[in-house]
Structure 1
Amino acid sequence: SAMIVIIGFELAKTSVEKILSPVPVAFSAPLAAVLVLSIAVKLWLCLFNRALGRKINSTTLLAAAEDSRNDIITTAAVLLAAVIEAVSGLSIDGFVGLAVSLFILYSGAKLAKETISPLLGEAASPELQARIVDYIRAQPKVLGYHDLMVHDYGPGQRFATIHVEMDSKEDPMRCHELIDDMERECLKSHNIHLVIHYDPVVTDDPELTRLHILVDSLLGEMDPRLKTHDFRMVPGGGHTNLIFDIAFPQDTKFTKQEIQDKLEEALRSQEGKVYHTVITFDPLAFNQESCEHQ
Structure 2
Amino acid sequence: MKEGETVGSSDGGSESSRNRSSVQGKRLKQCFGFCAVGVLTDLLLGGFKIFMGWESGSISVIGDGFNNMTDAGSVFLLMLTFYFASRPSDREHPFGHGRMEYLNSTLMGTAVVYVGVSLLRESAEKIFHPQPVLFSMELMILLVTAIAGKLFLAWLYRTADEAVGSKAFRAYSADSLADVAATGGVLMSLLAEKFWGWTVDGWAGAAVSFVVLYAGYEILKSAVNALIGAPPDARLYQAMEKKINSYPGIYGVHDMIIHDYGPGSQFVSAHAEMDSRMSLVESHQLADRIMQDMLHDFHAQTVIHVDPRAVDNPREPKYRKDLETAIIQSGLPVTFHDFFTAEKRDGIHLSFELGLERECPLSDREIYDKIDSEMKKLNPNYVTELLVDRNFISGQRYGGISTAKK
CA separation of 1:222 and 1:160: change in aligned 2, threshold 3 A:
same
Sort the Cα spacing of 1:21 and 1:245 in 2 relative to 1 into closer, same or farther, 3 A: same
1:266 paired residue among 350, 373, 378: 378
Contact 2:375 2:382 (C-alpha < 8 Å) held by counterparts: no
| 1:257 paired residue among 353, 361, 369 | 369
> For 1:107, which of 215, 227, 232 is the aligned residue?
215
Q: 1:17 to 1:219 in 2, by over 3 A?
A: same
- CA positional deviation for 1:12: 0.8
Distance 1:93 1:120 in 2: 40
Paired letter, 1:235: K
- Superposed CA deviations along residues 143-181 of structure 1, whole A, max 9, x for unmatched, are 443333344566324443221233344342343233122
Q: 1:181 to 1:16 in 2, by over 3 A?
A: same
CA distance in 1, matches of 2:168, 2:319: 50
CA RMSD, 1 decimal: 3.1
- Residue equivalent to 1:214: 318
Cα 1:202–1:6 shift into 2, 3 Å: same
Q: Does 1:68 align with 2:176?
A: yes
Of the three residues 170, 182, 186, the one matched with 1:78 is: 186
CA separation of 1:248 and 1:174: change in aligned 2, threshold 3 A:
closer
Q: Please, what TM-score do these two structures have when normalized by structure 1?
A: 0.79
Aligned AA for 1:142? Answer: I
Q: Aligned runs of 1:37-48 on 2, under 5 Å?
A: 37-48=145-156
How far apart in 1 are the matches of 2:184 and 2:318? 70
Paired residue total: 275
Equivalent residue runs for 1:1-294 within 5 Å:
1-87=109-195, 89-151=197-259, 155-203=263-311, 206=313, 209-210=314-315, 212-223=316-327, 226-233=335-342, 235-236=344-345, 239-240=346-347, 242-249=349-356, 255-268=367-380, 274-282=381-389
Higher strand share: 1
Cα deviation, residue 61, structure 1: 1.2
| Structure 2 length-normalised TM | 0.59
Bigger RCO (CA 8 Å, 6+ sep): 1
| Contact kept in structure 1, 2:354 and 2:386, CA below 8 Å | no
Alignment deviations for residues 184-223 of structure 1 (CA, whole Å, 9 cap, x no partner): 211221233322102344555x4xx52x333212222233
Unpaired runs of 5+ residues, structure 2, are 1-108, 329-333, 394-406
Shift of 1:232: 4.1
Counting aligned pairs with the same residue, the percent is 28
- Would you say the 8 A contact 1:123–1:151 is kept in 2? no
Offset, 1:77:
2.1
Q: C-alpha separation between the residues in 1 aligned to 2:256 and 2:139?
A: 59
Q: 1:60 to 1:167 in 2, by over 3 A?
A: same
2:215 partner amino acid? S
Q: CA contact under 8 A between 2:110 and 2:220: conserved in structure 1?
A: yes
Q: 1:218 to 1:113 in 2, by over 3 A?
A: same
